[in-house]
Amino acid sequence: MDWGLFTIQMLNGVQLGVLLFLLAAGLTLVFGIMDFVNLAHGSLYMMGAYFCATLVQLTDSFVLGVILALPLTALLGWIVELIVVRALYTHDHLDHVLATFGMILCFDTAVDFIWGPTGMAIPLPEVLDSHIDLFGGHTFPVFRILIISTGLAVAGFLYVMVSHTRIGMLIRAGASNRTMVMALGVDIGKLFALVFAVGAALAGLAGMLIAPITEASIGMGNEIIIVAFVVIIIGGIGSIKGAFVAAMLVGLIDTMGRSFLDQLLKVFMSSESAETSAPALSAMAIYILMAMVLAFRPQGLFPPKVR
């Protein structure tokens, strides 16, 4: 076993987990507190990436681009909540799914109109575009370290906010029993709008962080939103802690599967069939985990206390 490689792959797994957490945090709050299924959460992730790409090209600075794009994505989330989502709270889940699926199509087409179908690259400053040397000749890209630290910082911030502030108390209360919170005279409309906007900004941030690695492209959110749903189901809907743990689990399982499963399979398979089946199996692994969680602990690993 090459422990250096193992460490690198752990870091890669954590980096994927952190990105998933940023997406899942908003999704789980919106689903848990407002009981609203938002398929278009991935579109906000995409919009964040496009806002950031445009602003980086205008300002020539990645940091400035992110700082400006964050409130912009939050604003977009707020507008979406105001115009579309607010009218849907009283409807059932099927209506949510239909409406937000329609929103995905609108966002994808809007991006096609505004930015064209080609996708956009986000150039990074030289400091972030390089790599650092680790032990044993291994290297790790600086930008991925930035992703990990940003994600952990956001997780810490959310933890403090949710567990130790008044607004966090309301969010937790909302996740546990919405009707009671309303009955106690809290302006639930404002709370919902705030949560939705924060969720949008977090999704946007994830988009801004992944785009310099891949690119901003149409439909980028539709690919990852499924995994984000898997994360919140594993973690327990409405729980930030659950989202964090599940995101890490999913990130690590996916990365480790891609890294080592083929070698494992080669022990009892021909090398060609191992190489073909390993990517398929590692893509399946997180869904197998979800199925197991649903079978043995359907409320998820860390469900919010008392519904």
- Interacting residue ranges for other proteins, rule: CB under 8 A: 2, 4-5, 8-9, 12-13, 15-16, 57, 117-124, 129-131, 138-144, 210, 212-215, 217-220, 222-223, 226, 255, 258-259, 262, 275-276, 278-280, 283
Residue number, 9 or 176, with CB nearest to other proteins? 9
Of residues 225, 259, 230, the one with CA closest to residue 246? 230
Pick 89 or 140: Cβ nearer other proteins: 140
Shortest distance, CB of residue 78 to other proteins, whole angstroms?
28
103/278 with CB nearer other proteins = 278
In the complex, what is the shortest distance from the CB of residue 270 to other proteins, in angstroms, rounded to a whole number? 13
Q: State the nearest-atom distance from the C-beta of 26 to other proteins, in Å.
A: 20
Q: In terms of CB distance, is 85 or 265 closer to other proteins?
A: 265
Q: Cβ of residue 147: shortest distance to other proteins, in angstroms?
A: 10
Q: How many CA atoms lie within 13 A of 130 on its CB side?
A: 5
Instruction: Report the residue number, 16 or 80, with the smaller CB distance to other proteins.
Output: 16
SS (H, E, C) the chain: CCHHHHHHHHHHHHHHHHHHHHHHHHHHHHHHHHCCCCCCHHHHHHHHHHHHHHHHHHHCCHHHHHHHHHHHHHHHHHHHHHHCHHHHCCCCHHHHHHHHHHHHHHHHHHHHHHHCCCCECCCCCCCCCCEEECHHHCEEEHHHHHHHHHHHHHHHHHHHHHHHCHHHHHHHHHHHCHHHHHHCCCCHHHHHHHHHHHHHHHHHHHHHHHCCCCCECCCHHHHHHHHHHHHHHHHCCCCHHHHHHHHHHHHHHHHHHHHHHHHHHHCCCCHHHHHHHHHHHHHHHHHHHHHHHHHHCCCCCCCCCCC
CB of 206 to other proteins, least distance (A): 12
Closer to other proteins by CB, 146 or 161: give it.
Answer: 146
Q: Name the residue nearer to other proteins (CB basis): 70 or 211.
A: 211
CB of 51 to other proteins, least distance (A): 17
Q: Minimum distance between the CB of residue 133 and other proteins, rounded to whole angstroms?
A: 8
